[in-house]
Chain A
Amino acid sequence: MTMLFPSDLEEACEMLAASDGKAVPLAGGTDLLVHWPQRFEDHGRTFLDLSQLAELRAIRWSDSALILGGGVTYWQTLGDRAVCDAFPLLEKAGRQVGAVQIQARGTWAGNIVNASPAADGVPVLMAYDAVVELVSTQGEEEIPLSEFYLGYKQMRRRPNQLVRAVRLPRRRHDVEVFEKIGPRRAQAITKLGFAATHSAAGWRVVANSMAPTVCRCRTLEGMLEHGSPIRRPEDLMPAIRQDVSPIDDIRSTAQYRQKVFSRTLFHALFSDEK
């Protein structure tokens, strides 16, 4: 049971490589440290603390993208007007991740690599076509977030890689929607949620807690692209059944998830009255 304190990202990569990918990168700790005293299997591990690496905490802009460093917290983005104005869903989702205490520690990148199907930060990033920038002693790699997950808790990040940044292309969006449906209004784990955007790049509809991974709903996107007539929430159901496979679990039921997905999506995108 020990901790490694790298002084910069390069050293962090070296430490991770030296551990043969066994060290556990730790940023905000809002997932990894839940019930810490009972996590016996984790107590023997080596943790690589990323929470103090200044270069990961940077929010930068390029001509074509917003670049969130791998250690940027929700709270940082909530306090950054330029980010909230350009990517309003980051504010909307960020405010719904836990409450202030979690927002202050939790990071966007951590949410991605925790690989939970219920991740609240991932749908909006994916709906903005985010690209994950990974780095290791072996070099750099970029993976579109929509191709990042392979299955339940499975992802394309290799154990020796760290998230250097998450890059969001700057686009003009005429639709930006995010819904989180949880058991209560604040500080709750999502029963189902989605983000949807439309830009010159087309439609993006991303669902969480509806499948083994956060995922794009390509059939729904296709319907929207083709302008298929949607008059009632039920008209979305065939596509939803194709795109996602919700389950019954401790937090909700498959039936509720599907039905409410169709209804909230319908009202968000098609209802005249808003």
Chain B
Amino acid sequence: MTKPEHRDIGFTLNGEEIRFSGTGTERLLDVLRYRLGLPGTKEGCGEGECGACTVHLDGVPVNSCLILVGQVRNRRVDTVESVAPEALVELHTSGATQCGACTPGVVMTARFVIDHPGLLERASVRQLMAGNLCRCTGYDGIIEGIAEALRQEETSP
């Protein structure tokens, strides 16, 4: 076995340049949670099925349990910690969160949908949210919150 090679890994995390030393073979999820002090991103399954670990990579939702941190060097990662409370009003009101364990992932995909309404020309909100399993809400609270946020975006100047 070759000796693990440590190197400098740098990427943009929630708008800030991050640098740390590692082999690059840790999961992005673990690095965020256990090395960089951002436990908002949750692990629900570790198999890319539940979406609780969703973050944005260059603006697109991805499962951070299926990415090695070396793969995000020089790229932009945004986590739930980057979302402003004002962007969550509709989801809060509609009952989009109950136990909260799936919620950070839901929020990251929901914000992506809300910020890219053009996606709805080819897919429904329910299809776009299918990568985020929720066991509490039955999804209605989530879907309604997104719909309301989309209405707000549409009517706001």
Contacts and interface: CB of A to CB of B under 8 A. Distances in A.
Complex A–B touching at CB under 8 A? yes
B48 A102 contact: yes
A99 B75 CA distance: 22
Interface of B: 1-5, 23-25, 27, 46-49, 51, 54, 57, 60-63, 65-68, 70-71, 73-75, 109, 112, 122-123, 127-132
Interface stretch (A41-49, A171-179, A213-221, A248-256): A41-49
A270 interface: no
A35 interface: yes
Nearest to A102: B48
What interface size band does chain A fall in?
35 or more
11 contacts: A2-B3, A3-B24, A3-B25, A28-B66, A29-B71, A33-B65, A34-B48, A36-B27, A51-B71, A100-B131, A104-B57
A187 B46 contact: no
Contact of B49 (A33, A51, A91, A187): A187
A230 to B, nearest CB: 33
Interface in A89-108: 91, 95, 98-102, 104-105
Nearest to B133: A187
Contacts of B3: 2
B4 A104 contact: no
Given A34-B66, A100-B61, 9 more contacts: A5-B24, A34-B47, A36-B27, A36-B66, A37-B27, A44-B1, A78-B122, A91-B122, A101-B61
A85 to B, nearest CB: 12
A2 B123 contact: no
A105 B127 contact: no
B12 to A, nearest CB: 14
Nearest to B55: A101
Contact of A36 (B65, B75, B109, B131): B65
Contacts of A35: 46-47
Contacts of A78: 122
Contact of A98 (B24, B27, B71, B131): B131
Given A1-B23, A2-B25, A35-B46, A99 B70 contact: no
Nearest to B74: A52
Nearest to A38: B46
A165 to B, nearest CB: 21
A26 interface: yes
B128 A47 contact: no
